[in-house]
Every structure is written in C-alpha cells, then in structure tokens.
C-alpha cells in the first residue's frame, strides 16, 4: 500500500422521483446511462448542495440536448453555473424542482 491519501468521495444517491423523471423524459438508453453516471458522481464536488437538486439540474440540461459529458463536467467545475443554467439556481428552486420532478410531463418550468 502506498503512502498517498485516499481521496474522500460520496457517491450521489438518485432519488426515486428523479429516476422516474429521467425515465419519462429521456429515451430509455439515455436515461439508464445518466442514472448510472449520477450514481458515480462525487457529491463532494458540489459543496453540500442538495443531491436531488444537482441531479435534476444535470437531467434538465441533458433533456435540453446538452451532452451529458459536458453537463457533468460543468457540475464538477462550477455547480453554481449548473444550477443557474438549469433554472434551479434561484430562491424558488424547491418549487421549480417539484414542478419538474412531480409533473406528468405536461408542465415545463421556464428556465
């Protein structure tokens, strides 16, 4: 065993409602890939932000056609920009998140 430090990480837990949102709003192969990517995402990159909020922000931008690799890269570099770009960066983020995740697909919040 080496003398180097083992980096600390916390893997994201994908909530049931986020997984359901992904499954109903993205093609099956893309939603499965994104769920797997989110489950490997290191939450320590987002300074204690709500995991479901960050996961949803990633999902929203992927749903708008941004490549998942680019969105996850943005989340790792600057979670604030991720949240703002997705529409989840304001004080009303909880309401906006609920509108996205609990919607039957007919409601689309304004970004």
- Tens digits of pLDDT across the chain (111 residues): 444 544 555 677 899 999 999 999 999 999 999 999 888 887 777 788 888 999 999 999 999 999 999 999 999 899 999 999 999 999 999 999 999 999 765 445 555
pLDDT confidence of residue 8: 52
CB atoms within 10 A of CB 64: 11
Give the global pTM. 0.82
Distance CA 3, CA 49 (A): 31
Sorted by where each begins, the domain ranges of the chain are 16-101
Distance CA 86, CA 90 (A): 10
pLDDT confidence of residue 6: 46
């Amino acid at each position: 065993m080496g003398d180097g430090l083992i980096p600390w990480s916390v893997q994201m837990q994908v909530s049931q409602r986020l997984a359901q949102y992904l499954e109903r709003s993205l093609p099956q192969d893309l939603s499965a890939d994104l769920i797997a990517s989110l489950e490997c995402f290191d939450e320590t990159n987002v300074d204690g932000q709500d995991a479901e909020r960050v996961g949803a922000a990633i999902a929203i931008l992927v749903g708008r056609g941004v490549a998942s690799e680019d969105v996850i890269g943005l989340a790792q570099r600057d979670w604030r920009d991720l949240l703002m770009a997705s529409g989840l960066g304001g004080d009303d983020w909880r309401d906006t998140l609920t509108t996205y995740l609990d919607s039957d697909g007919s409601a689309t919040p304004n970004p």
